[in-house]
Homo-oligomer: A and B are copies of this chain.
Amino acid sequence: MLTIGQVAERSGVPHTALRFYEDRGLITSVRTAGNQRRYLRSVLRRLAFIRTAQRVGLTLEDVRDALAQLPDNRTPTKSDWERLSRSWKSELDARIDALYRLRDRLTGCIGCGCLSLRSCALQNIDDEQASHGPGAPKLKPAVEGGTA
């Protein structure tokens, strides 16, 4: 069992954030007789997962909901992971896709002669994300007349 300080050091996640995550239900701990937190080593795995997910733009709530599908008290089974995976895969795929388009649009624009943006991919971004992600309000299909 690890103390909060040990977890903080090993994971690089500040102890303040660890308490915050616990408060939000992303991680759990048990308490000593003296009311101090003690963590299973598996919390490090969760934390790595949380931080990675956050870095790519998922909210703590997204992560919490996903992790809620995993058992706290036992090693996740194959079907535990399957469920988590299924529920996340399409979201992750969508994000990967969005990133690709964002990147390729940039580099693509160089090739496509953006001096006249008329036929440029960037032009057409607006219609793609019609309904995505809770955090990001949507861009409606814009009526791109002719002049840009």
Contact = CB atoms under 8 A, between A and B. Distances in A.
Contact of A102 (B56, B113, B114, B126): B56
Interface in A63-81: 75-78, 80-81
A119 interface: no
Number of copies of this chain in the oligomer? 2
A52 B126 CA distance: 9
A23 interface: no
A13 B51 contact: no
A30 interface: no
A9 B136 CA distance: 7
Contacts of A105: 49
Given A41-B148, A77-B114, 10 more contacts: A10-B130, A12-B138, A41-B130, A44-B130, A44-B144, A54-B143, A55-B129, A78-B110, A85-B106, A89-B106
